[in-house]
Amino acid sequence: MTELLQQVRVIDPVSGTDQIADVLIADDEIQAVAAKISDISPDTQIKDCRGLVLGTGLVDLYSHSGEPGFEERETLSSLLQAAAAGGFTRVSILPDTSPAIDNPALVAQLQRSRGAKESLHSSPLLQVWGAITLDVAGKQMAELADLANAGVVGFSDGRPLENLGLVRRVLEYLQPLGKPVAFWPCDRQLAANGVMREGAEAIRLGLPPVTASAETTAIASLLELVAAIGTPVHIMRVSTSRSVELIASAKAAGLPITASTTWMHLLLDTKAVKSYNTSLHLDPPLGNPCDVTALREGVRAGVIDAIAIDHAPYTYEEKVQAFAEAPSGAIGLELALPLLWQYLVETKEFTVLELWQALSSRAAECLGQQVSAIIPNQTAELALFDPQQTWKVERKNLHTLSSNTPWLGQQLQGRVVQTWC
């Protein structure tokens, strides 16, 4: 099939360009990008794309799949449909499934299932993080070399590893394998039973607090190990202003680190929790206003390399509990781009290129990958976004099987209208 997108706003984070152009796509390959394209075949589908945005496909660093083990929350099929609907062309799932993705046999099983899903039209690439440890206590290292040979995208438990001796051994062992390793720094003893960032709002709402030092002390310890061993590391779920400072200093010193925050930590702060909506129970918790400001500045400056979605689906029954008792996490694959655009681009706090780089090209770099520039003879891995389209966040309008989001029932502006995978 041949498509001509006329007068679309082309956002290319690879070349750093933002321009109005015609784009010709044939058989999932970009044929031409020019101010005006008139030499086309008679069967070309012509689309008037004035007001629409065409960017490189979005890349999600880490999200949660229900399958295997919790298919009532999410299946691989529904996850990929939700990702495509949100403009994502690559999705990386964490290994906290049941059973956990800690052995080559399960990786092979997921790859077979992935192959079947990706044979469908416009299905995103599903990538799998391999587990670092074999047990919930995080004391026994998985067979990392076997997992690397099985084709995992990298290694992460998606939960805090507090045994620093084990973290050191993991960094030493992974150094020659050339695969990304991602850690979520959090000292569970300092976090205790907290569910909300420490501060005035936590006191006002009567919710157990989580001190910022639960994150920052863990980051400081991890950075010391990276400095000693030299293995590149990705720091997940950065959520405090002090964390941004620590990462900036480490990067200035030349440490081989990348970092990400999640989209909801860029949009909302502790004041939102007054609704006691359990979809706002996140881990790490939403930050104070100063944290949100620092995170936004960190993303714009490149101190925080990427924006992750950390899509975490749960059933209605699981989330209908007291705030502190409900499992932490919210969905996001279909909502992130519209809301980030609304909160950050429409307010002119971010340029379109800054947002797209954090969601696409820089996110891919954290995985040791690249996205292709929007130029002729490149594979069409693209997302077409309509910033003006309005839609209501309802169960029937979502591809994900879950609806745990604080925006449920609200009207949003902006929606992805087509994805090329």
Task: List residues with catalytic annotation.
Answer: 310
When pLDDT is cut at 50, 70 and 90, the band that residue 112 belongs to is confident
pLDDT digits (tens, 9 = 90+) for 386-397: 999 999 999 999
pLDDT digits (tens, 9 = 90+) for 228-267: 999 999 999 999 999 999 999 999 999 999 999 999 999 9
When pLDDT is cut at 50, 70 and 90, the band that residue 139 belongs to is confident
Pairing status of strand 29-34 against strand 17-26: antiparallel
When pLDDT is cut at 50, 70 and 90, the band that residue 135 belongs to is confident
pLDDT digits (tens, 9 = 90+) for 395-405: 999 999 999 99
CB-based burial label for 213 (10 Å; 0-12, 13-18, 19+): middle
Residue 147 pLDDT more than 80? Answer: yes
Residue 52 pLDDT more than 80? Answer: yes
pTM for the whole thing? Answer: 0.96
Give pLDDT, residue 39. 87
pLDDT digits (tens, 9 = 90+) for 344-360: 999 999 999 999 999 99
Residue 368 pLDDT more than 80? Answer: yes
For 419, the token pair is 């994805």
Give pLDDT, residue 120. 52
Give pLDDT, residue 117. 59
Domains of the chain: 2-52+383-389+409-420 (2.30.40.10), 57-372 (3.20.20.140)
- Average pLDDT of the chain? 96
The DSSP code sequence of 308-359 is E-------HHHHSS-TTTSPP----TTTHHHHHIIIIITTTSS-HHHHHHHH
Report the C-alpha gap between 158 and 354 in whole angstroms. Answer: 26
Report the C-alpha gap between 215 and 373 in whole angstroms. Answer: 36
Give pLDDT, residue 119. 57
